Structure 1
Amino acid sequence: MFFVWFQHTNGQEDFPILTEIVTDKAALFSESETLELRKKLKAYETETTHQIVVLTVNSLENNTVENYALQVFEKNELGQEEADNGLLILVAKNDRKFRIEVGYGLEPIITDAFASRIIREAMTPEFKKGDFYKGVDLATSEIIKLIDDPKYRDEFTNLVEQEGKMPLWGGKIIIGFILLIFLSLFIGVGSTVFYKGFKQLINVFRGLITGKVSVVLFPFLLVSSLLTIGFSLPFIIMPLLFGIFIIGIASENNIDIDPFEYLESLPLTAIPITMVSLVVIFIILPLIIAIYTRSNKDYESVKFSFLKSDKSFMSKNFSSSGSSSSYSRSGSGYSSSSSSSSFSGGGGSSGGGGASGSW
């Protein structure tokens, strides 16, 4: 009843000349479905002059779906000559590909992003179920709404923008998770070394006040313990600062965090306050803990030894500390370095805008 026929020209591809607004060459629709689509799209063309054309073919004949759609569009001059308000929905059955080709005049409305979403949300799910009519019907309805209803178009725009942000946030979450694991390793190493150093510091004071660490040896053990603690702090503090910095960059509010600028803005009293705090935390606090934990079983009286240290106490608490600390330091250092028959086109054209899909 209705047909698509081909003109043959030497040296050129043969693309169909359309005589109906809906041409089902691949027999994807029933006769009633074809008539329903024609009625719908012809009425819309009469009302608005916008031409939404549907073509199904068996094969793209070794063409890309983009080129085939563009050639059909240009050959049939879809849309009105001045308005370029044509749109072609092409479905290739055997190739399992389809495309929405948009004329110049409709490109500001049916953007590539809009066409992609229509393909993804309306057409592809139905095509996968074999319901080609429903997929095309839904797509044409969406296109008509977008052209006719600015409010709906704004809502559609918001949906597309939100979808565009989702992969970005998904990527941020993945990167954040990887950074969390990476930074946690450094913090874990630093915390372990800090704990060992602080525990050793308590034992140094406990040994001093119980006469098990000589007064002569005490300064060396004290410095060794403080160095171990000092070495651990960058592994704890720097990852935390780096994490805060990354969060500031990733934030939509674009938080600018500059630790050096913060340090420059500190008052002069910050230095003595910091020094006093360090003395309290790393000298007074360990000493207090040592006094109250002199023995788990029997209370040990306070006494001092100038030269002699208790070998048993030294062996138990400090014999492997040097090598252990050395190992921790070298190990940590290593970690930081490796890390209708009356239908005809109106003279319109397309610039190749639109979107393609497959099922």
Structure 2
Amino acid sequence: MKKISFIIIIILFPASILFSQTKKENTVPDPQSVFSRSYDYVNDFEKILSPDQITTLSNTLKAFEKQFLYKITIVTTPSIQPYTSFPDYALELDRYLSKDPKLDPTILIVVSREIRQIQVQSIDLIRYKLSDNDTQNIITTYAVPEFKKGDYGKGLELAVDQFMNKLKTY
């Protein structure tokens, strides 16, 4: 009887190893694989801006950086996968961009029409010119009303103008 139970255990043991499931670890996504695109002043990955709006915004942002040394970057995205929250996505994108001095934005504006979210990231050095309350006020007063009308280009243009006005002061 002992030999039979021993043989049964030996036969079943390898089978249980083969069919057992391993628990997948909850890992942080690799930013390099998520944000592997090239970035410019205006990055319309969601395709919500017209070519004229992209050109106008890009030229405005480029001239502003040349004159005042503050780089503003706009990114539109249809999805934040594999991230679960929009602020986390924007923060990781900002960290990713800040690793390259050519891409490092002073202000990063991330917008998604699909998710109906906007997030603004800025460096700490400009807090004396642009507080969180100022940022919130600019977004709710200038960008959101135009977004509700469906004109994302105009909303971004108005918000960017206000950000630039705040950064020009002092």
* Both proteins in one fold, TM over 0.5: yes
AA partner of residue 84 (structure 2)? N
| Aligned residues between the structures | 139
Which residue of structure 2 aligns with residue 136 of structure 1?
156
The answer on whether the counterparts of 1:18 and 1:76 sit within 8 Å (CA) in structure 2 is no
Between the aligned partners of 1:70 and 1:11, the Cα distance in structure 2 is 13
Residue aligning to 2:90: 69
Classify 1:34/1:71 alpha carbon distance in 2 versus 1 (closer, same or farther; 3 Å).
same
Say yes or no: does 1:38 pair with 2:40.
Answer: no
**Structure 1 unmatched ranges of 5 or more:** 1-9, 151-359
Task: Answer yes or no: is the 8 Å Cα contact 1:89–1:101 preserved in 2.
Answer: yes
Partner of 2:126: 106
- Counterpart of 2:76 (choices 56, 66, 85) is 56
- Give me the whole-angstrom Cα distance separating, in 2, the residues matched to 1:112 and 1:87: 12
Separation in structure 1 between the aligned mates of residue 94 and residue 138 of structure 2, nearest angstrom = 19
Q: 1:18 to 1:118 in 2, by over 3 A?
A: farther
Structure 1 pair 131/125, CA: closer, same or farther in 2 (3 Å)?
Answer: same
Structure richer in helix, relative to its length = 1
Which letter maps to 2:98? E
Distance 2:127 2:117 in 1: 21
Unaligned runs of 5+ in 2: 1-27
Per the normalisation by structure 1, the TM-score is 0.36
Please report how far the alpha carbon of residue 108 of structure 1 lies from its aligned counterpart in structure 2 after TM superposition: 2.2
Deviation of the 1:94 alpha carbon: 1.3
TM-score (norm 2): 0.74
| C-alpha distance in structure 1 between counterparts of 2:100 and 2:164, whole Å | 15
Kindly name which structure, 1 or 2, has the bigger radius of gyration based on alpha carbons.
1
Counterpart Cα distance in 1 of 2:108 and 2:147: 17
Cα RMSD for the two superposed structures: 2.3
State the secondary structure of the residue aligned to 1:20: coil
Distance 2:163 2:99 in 1: 16
1:105-254 matches, cutoff 5 A: 105-150=125-170
Displacement of 1:93 in angstroms is 2.2
Q: Secondary structure at the match of 1:98?
A: strand
Identity %: 24
Q: Structure 1 71/97 Cα, relative in aligned 2: closer, same or farther at 3 Å?
A: same
1:298-340 Cα offsets, whole Å, 9 max, x none, are xxxxxxxxxxxxxxxxxxxxxxxxxxxxxxxxxxxxxxxxxxx
RCO comparison, higher one (Cα < 8 Å, 6+): 1
Report if aligned partners of 1:51, 1:85 keep a CA contact under 8 Å in 2: yes
